[in-house]
Chain A
Amino acid sequence: MKKLKLSLFLLLQCTLIACGGGSDTPPNEPPPPTGVTSPPPVAKADAVRLLQQATFGTRLEDIAQVESRGIEGWIDWQLNLPATTHLSYYSTVSMADDDTWSQHVNAWWMRSLTAQDQLRQRVAFALSQILVVGQSGVSSSGHKGVQSLSNYYDVLLNNSNGNYRDLIHAVTLNPVMGEYLSMLRNEKPNLEKNIRPDENYARELMQLFTIGLVELELNGQPKEDAQGNNIPTYNQEVIEGFAHVFTGWTWGNAERFKWWSEDRDLNGPMKAFDDYHAEGDKQVLNGVVIPGGQTPEQDLSQALDNIFNHPNVGPFIAKQLIQKLVTSNPSLGYVERIATVFNDNGNGIRGDLRAVVKAILMDREARDGETSNDKIFGKIKEPVLRLTALWRAFDAKAANGIYDFRWVANDFSQGPLQSPSVFNFFSPFYSPQGEFQDSDWVAPEMQIHSEGTMAKMTNHLHWRILSMNNYARVEPDPEDILINITREHDMANDLEAMLDHLDLLLMAGQMSAELRQETLDFINKYGEENFDVKASDAIGMIITSPEFAVQQ
């Protein structure tokens, strides 16, 4: 902006004084069209870095979008796009009555791979690994069950550019979460029968979805008391207080509290029955007591306000979103800058996820890879994101028009809404033995890259690249998802040019000389021609390499 104003000024001056030749500062930039400010230019490699952080994978046309809109313009454009919902997927496909198992995964592939609102989809995926529900926790199988999982995902997606307070309200009352963490049909105490309210949702809402276990500084570091100990955010009384708050709720179309039907509403918000709601005072956070005698809705609203306004929410959520999108070990300053935006978006609004996501991606640490506090920049890519990156880069499609790959977790140790527990596939605190632990670094995704899983992941990627491309599989079955490498095939008579292209598209121009040389040496062994295998093996080398596994 500064540069632009200056050149306009010079241009004006020159016009006024009729500059001739010999000026020290020739106006070599053309004036922008009236009323339009062109974005600062973006190097292609920088565009790919952004796209790795903000989408499910880079296509050439995505690079062009970032170039034409600029970094900020692209982010704003993305965050303004309407959500391409997952529930709407089911109206576009026909599903056999008896073929419903994990269909929500197919919906996820379709949307994650093809939706234009890539950034919102990517944020939803991050949120689905913070506000976790698992497929195994849904009691209803069949079409309603899988669609309710997609509907839960849509709650995350619809709020991905909204407010975190609205998000936790919607998640709290979603019946899938209600079943998963057993708030649904949680009832008031009955001392005669030794029954007290279920503490499950109360505990995990605080521990995992909002504030965490210990009080945090704005920069995400745990606070310490005078003895150097961490300070717990809540105690058992507070858990019990919230457990009493979350009583009386069941399916939104229930006729009575103790009611069940095949037709129970698995999508709409739960509703409350006053008679099953605990009447008494409820101890919540920061010494606040919610007074007895209120309605379930009043209690819920005040309790969520109480949690939402806890100072931990900003740093707790900011850090995890940074870790999911940009870097596993953000500097304290980075976390603090994003938590500050969470606390106030600049217009006095707390919890504005649109502002938070934009700030995460616009931050100098994200853009420049700048680090401090002896941290390392970047992250191990989540396993499924390596596959989506492949599929988007090479326009993967099946003849039947769907992406039928529901058993993804078998090979990638991860799948949408398929976590084995509310603690997600990996912990944000996981630190591998050795250098990482010694340096107090984490590498969360490494937790699922083990000696029992890495061969599966590598085999699967090799298979997708080397066997499931449009040259290797000439008579595909309708459901075969094939990558299209015609473009690379046609480049393979000039291997240096092809590798330049793959370096940009897959590696944001960060490929090491060694990876490039090993790849060249290998595919050169195919001799003349053989452009198809040269292309596919070059892609295979890059995508299964340690360097591709890391996003920087």
Chain B
Amino acid sequence: MSKVNRRDFLKLGASSIAGAGLLNVPQTAFANSNPPSDYKAIVNIFFLGGNDGFNMVVPRSDFEYNEYAASRQNLALSKAELLSISPATSGNAQYGLHPMFNEVQQLFADGNLGIMANVGNLIQPVTKDQLDNPNTPRPRQLFSHNDQQDQWRYGDPQSSKSGWGGRLMDYKIVDNSNALLTGMAIDGRSKWLGSQQNLDISISRNGFDRYNYVRPDTNWTQDRRSAFKALLDLQYSNPLDKAFADSQKRTMDLVEQVGGIINDLPDFNTPLPELRNRLAESLRMVARMIAIREQLGMTRQVFYVAMGGFDTHDDQNSRQPALLQQISQAMKYFYDVTVELGVADAVTSFTSSEFGRTLTSNGDGTDHAWGNHQLVMGGSVLGGDIYGTMPSLEIGGVDDYRSDGRIIPTTSVEQYAKPILDWFNMEPSQISTIIPNLGAFNANAINFMR
């Protein structure tokens, strides 16, 4: 049995670049053909575990606050500590932010950040009464972390083969000199970037590690390097061997062709938050990739970063403030870096999380729920406003799915994605492929982009 087959060529779809010759850098000529003004990037910031958005954005007007406080009991923030915001088009109710959200408060006030109210995975718009009927369609495996994360990332109730970030990417790889770099996740592959034509690339937030013992630039490593690389170029008949070899080869190409450019970048003037902040470090890596967009010949990019720790079943009152402080400082840091790079209007960031959390408590924490508030940020965002519909926070109220504080989303993930896709210059026909279930909802209900 031969493990290596030199005769077979890679079996790839006609349009696929997966596994093929990968990189095409440096591309200095592209600086002219793709002026910076045409550049756009989307950044999906995912809060893993289910962020408790109902303690992130909190009512301040008496009636709504009292309802909130009655529901949340020992998890409720006091009205006095809330940071005030003044949405441009709010209704009668007033809202405030968690006391650790100082930077977000400023971004909101400056018009660079908006709030998307009560969004979540849905199959169709539903009311509590409709959900009482077991035949009413609703997402599979509600309240399960990985299922709800996957559904948020797939953006397609019918399919689990690709993510909506990946399908978006497939339309835009033709615009880029380095198709492979169109979509990138930081520190872990993401199904959001899964696609039929491209790869769910993941790089480290700390940059690119050189292959020390098979380096290209030292004499003593050359023989080993040739041998090492020859093994990666073999046509393996076993798909497992091939998957490993392809990944190693791709990594080497990235390290040697992109890593050098990244490592030569001067530090940003904008300082990282003083408190150690992994989300900010991940966003710094995104900003570095954006900073070298012209050298790479990139005009459209899609990024995914994630932050864990939001599954606050225990000690929520002590754990959540630190989490929200990191979010707030990291988002402000990233926005400031995009200003520094001159791309604030060209970069739109939006937050995701698999679900919100129960308004009721389990003593000192919360459990898995459904609808949740999110944040959208960038110079092209119509910031300083709350979009969508704020739900009733009454236990057993009209928006409470099971009368224990699991709030039914009033906006779907598709409706949340739609304005971002429009801004990314996607055609309606493309949007219907990227988020095929948008038609089940009012497609134009939400628009938070300039």
Contact = CB atoms under 8 A, between A and B. Distances in A.
Given A196-B360, A537-B224, A549 B244 contact: yes
B144 A436 contact: no
Contacts of B361: 193-196
Nearest to A459: B212
B36 to A, nearest CB: 26
Nearest to B231: A545
Contacts of B230: 518
Nearest to B204: A452
Interface stretch (B66-74, B103-111, B116-124, B343-351): B66-74
A236 B402 contact: yes
Nearest to B203: A452
Contact of A521 (B11, B227, B241): B227
Contacts of A441: 239
A471 interface: no
Contact of B367 (A198, A436, A437, A455): A198
B189 interface: yes
Contacts of B359: 194
A540 B362 CA distance: 53
A182 B314 contact: yes
Interface stretch (B245-253, B322-330, B333-341): B245-253
Contact of A462 (B16, B146, B212): B212
Contact of B368 (A203, A213, A547): A203
Contacts of A446: 243-244, 247
B363 A194 contact: no
B2 interface: yes
A194 B213 contact: no
B146 A196 contact: no
Contact of B209 (A380, A456, A514, A549): A456
Nearest to A199: B367
A550 B236 CA distance: 12
Contacts of A328: 240
Contacts of B12: 434
A423 to B, nearest CB: 6
Given A449-B244, A463-B212, A540-B213, A199 B201 contact: no
B397 to A, nearest CB: 13
Given A421-B308, A512-B4, A546 B231 contact: yes
B49 interface: yes
Main secondary structure of the interface of B (DSSP, over half): loop
A525 B212 contact: no
B202 interface: yes
A427 B146 contact: yes
Given A423-B146, A453-B204, A547-B3, A198 B363 contact: yes
A453 B228 CA distance: 18
Nearest to A379: B240
Interface string B366-382: 01100000000000000
Most buried by A among B72, B236, B239, B368: B239
A239 B255 CA distance: 46
Interface stretch (B92-100, B192-200, B261-269, B384-392): B192-200
A453 B187 CA distance: 8
A140 to B, nearest CB: 14
A462 B225 CA distance: 12
Contacts of A239: 143
A462 B213 contact: yes
A552 interface: yes
A186 interface: yes
A376 B202 contact: no
Contact of B313 (A200, A512, A513, A547): A200
Contact of A434 (B16, B213, B232, B234): B16
Contact of A213 (B144, B200, B252, B313): B144
A198 B251 contact: no
A488 B4 CA distance: 27
B324 to A, nearest CB: 19
Contacts of A141: none
Interface of A: 179, 181-182, 185-187, 193-200, 203, 207, 213, 230, 232, 236, 239, 243, 328, 376, 378-380, 420-421, 423, 427, 432-437, 439, 441, 443, 446-447, 449-456, 458-459, 462-463, 466, 510, 512-515, 518-519, 521-522, 525, 537, 540-541, 544-547, 549-550, 552
